[in-house]
Structure 1
Amino acid sequence: MSASGGTKAIVAALGANLAIAASKFVAFAFSGSSSMLAEGVHSLADSGNQALLLVGGKKAKREATPQHPFGYGRERYIYAFLVSIVLFSIGGMFAIYEGYEKITHPHDLEHWYWPVGVLTFAIIAESFSFRTAIQESNALRGQLSWKEFVRRAKAPELPVVLLEDFGALIGLILALGGVGLSVLTGDGIWDGIGTVCIGVLLVLIALVLAAETKSLLLGEAAGIEEVKKIEDAIVDGDTVTRIIHMRTLHLGPEELLVAAKIAVAHEDTAAEVASAIDAAEARIRAAVPPTRATPPARRR
């Protein structure tokens, strides 16, 4: 993922969420709607999440040190994992609690036009943010489905923003449905039910984010297509005859470590073997640009 593409999507989402959060809290103050309170906290949590992603992206750019010789690329994964925790604890659990309170102690909505107007505005603003995330993702996902893109993406920012924006839009529709049913039926319990549904949705999204970022934190290999390109680049059929075994590991979204044990021609001299290894490394870097190749072990 290009840094500019991810940053653009994050900034767009941050601006939208801050504006939406402010409007939701105003609507809550006038109407007393639990859906609006839950949605306000949700948007505030999302704003904090986007701030975390920006911080993680900045910290990941630090140069390697003797203590961290492979750099700090994985910091982006750590901050993405923190996002899932924030979304679960602040957004999801708070909404479920608030919805339960409203169901057990329902009360009529006051000035219902405030939450309806704010939710309509929020849906429009969130749609623009979601559209930006989709455009930035389309430039990278190629022929992958959206599910495959979220699961395979090594850069966490765009999948996180995509899921957040998608969850926000569905949550806004649920909130609008809860408020609308409360107004039509005169029963405030529907507002509480809508709030609980928002909380469950956020918890599910947080669990998906946690599972995907956990996998990245543990260390993921290169994708199937990248592995094939690397294998084709290593074996030239002349000095490098085959790959005995190979391991790949993403050190960060844009840095890939490759370690390979290769077989070389029996009659080659040490100088020719060293030259073959250098040539193989150059071919790997050309085939998969974000690659850091270790000197391959050789076997005659």
Structure 2
Amino acid sequence: MPVVAESDVAADGAGSESVTTVVVAVVTNLAIAAAKAVAGIVSGSSAMLSEAAHSVADTVTEVLLLASLRRSARPADEAHPLGYGPERYIWALLASIATFAGGAVFAVYDGIHTLVHGEDPRDPVFSYAVLAVAFVLEGYSLLVAWRQVTGEAARMRAPLGLYVKHTPDTAVKAVLLENAAALAGLVLAAGGLLGAQLTGSGVYDGVASLLIGALLVAVAWELGRSNAGYLIGRPLPAAMRAEVREELLSVPHVEGVLELTTLVQGPDEVLIAAKVDFHDLASARQVEAACEDAEAQLRERWPAVRRVYLDPTPTPPPASAAEPSLPPGAVQG
């Protein structure tokens, strides 16, 4: 029977910060989507209409992310003893589909339509003004997400690049990537408008729409891949698993870690289970104390660790010792 050390203390700070980040993005994108749509109709720019679709898709995405944050925050109960943390990845996966269907498909279609049928560029001054305001607002939303990501990376004691790649907080990752893509999309839309203004040809606008669509496909793919991975079940990164093993080995009376399993259940929910070899002369009380010390050390170093399960398991004897060889010439009967 495994010895269990468990803590159900919730890390509400990071969760509320995620909600704030997503709310800022929702309000920003809703206002920007309306302005881009008006600008696209006034200027006749397919790139501006693609950007409007982009912002609408981002808004829908972030509403789904808000639902994921709320539903995954429910406490554990008898029906779900490990909590509802993984539910956020279902909603976040739907959000990535919304980004693809609502933004990328429209942008690619509008770009192809413009290249095939052409367009009649009109005065782009209003569109330039909208793009400038949108750039400022999207930049602020990106800054909010960036500050949270850097703070969480520091709290997890992980390199920033590694954290962004493997972060279990896919809601913040979605806001970060979508806002970065939004800024790139604004630059592309401005380039399409400028090309159409200087040449009188809608080709530049159509190409800009296609590039915006490709950008959204890349974002949707990355977010879908990340959320699918956590739905299936993803461990801590290899470097962090090695550090967990070292931390366990530093606990008094622990001789070896025979097997280590880690499971990320949410941004602030990591489960650690291990088969641990304790000193043969350690008493039951010392083993229990070692389990408590292990939990305390792990949670102090990684606050996201919520559950620690340690199974006292003796190291199996070497094969040569378990099955002694027969003397030369002897026959096993």
TM-score, normalised via structure 2 length? 0.83
- The count of residues paired between Structure 1 and Structure 2 equals 300
- Map Cα deviations across residues 259-283 of structure 1 (whole Å, 9 max, x no partner): 1111122233444434433443343
* Alignment correspondent of 1:299: 314
Offset of 1:105 from its aligned partner?
A: 0.7
Of residues 27, 50, 55, the one that matches 2:39 is 27
- Map Cα deviations across residues 96-128 of structure 1 (whole Å, 9 max, x no partner): 001101111112122322222212221122112
Of residues 71, 74, 81, the one that matches 2:83 is 71
Query: Could you tell me the percent identity over the aligned residues?
Result: 34
Cα distance 1:263–1:179, how it changes in 2: closer, same or farther (>3 A)? same
* Alignment correspondent of 1:45: 57
Contact 1:226–1:288 (CA under 8 A) maintained in structure 2: no
* Alignment correspondent of 1:242: 256
Farther-moved stretch of structure 1 (198-207 vs 73-82):
73-82
* Alignment correspondent of 2:328: none
Of residues 182, 189, 192, the one that matches 1:175 is 189
* Alignment correspondent of 1:198: 212
* Alignment correspondent of 2:121: 109
Distance, in Å, in 1 between the alignment partners of 2:147 and 2:299 is: 28
Code of the residue aligned with 1:125 in structure 2: it is L
* Alignment correspondent of 2:200: 186
Cα distance 1:181–1:146, how it changes in 2: closer, same or farther (>3 A)? farther
Offset of 1:67 from its aligned partner?
A: 2.6
* Alignment correspondent of 2:106: 94
Code of the residue aligned with 2:129 in structure 1: it is G
Distance, in Å, in 2 between the alignment partners of 1:108 and 1:250 is: 52
Contact 2:46–2:110 (CA under 8 A) maintained in structure 1: yes
Q: Are 2:146 and 1:134 aligned? A: yes
Distance, in Å, in 1 between the alignment partners of 2:158 and 2:78 is: 38
Cα distance 1:138–1:268, how it changes in 2: closer, same or farther (>3 A)? closer
* Alignment correspondent of 1:217: 231
Farther-moved stretch of structure 1 (260-269 vs 34-43):
260-269
**RMSD across aligned C-alpha pairs, in angstroms?**
2.2
Distance, in Å, in 2 between the alignment partners of 1:34 and 1:146 is: 37
Farther-moved stretch of structure 1 (138-147 vs 82-91):
138-147
The runs of 5 or more residues in structure 1 that have no matched partner are: none
Offset of 1:199 from its aligned partner?
A: 0.5
Distance, in Å, in 2 between the alignment partners of 1:148 and 1:263 is: 31
Distance, in Å, in 2 between the alignment partners of 1:141 and 1:280 is: 23
* Alignment correspondent of 2:297: 283
Offset of 1:225 from its aligned partner?
A: 5.2
Farther-moved stretch of structure 1 (87-96 vs 216-225):
216-225
Of residues 259, 276, 295, the one that matches 2:273 is 259
Q: Are 2:182 and 1:165 aligned? A: no
TM-score, normalised via structure 1 length? 0.91
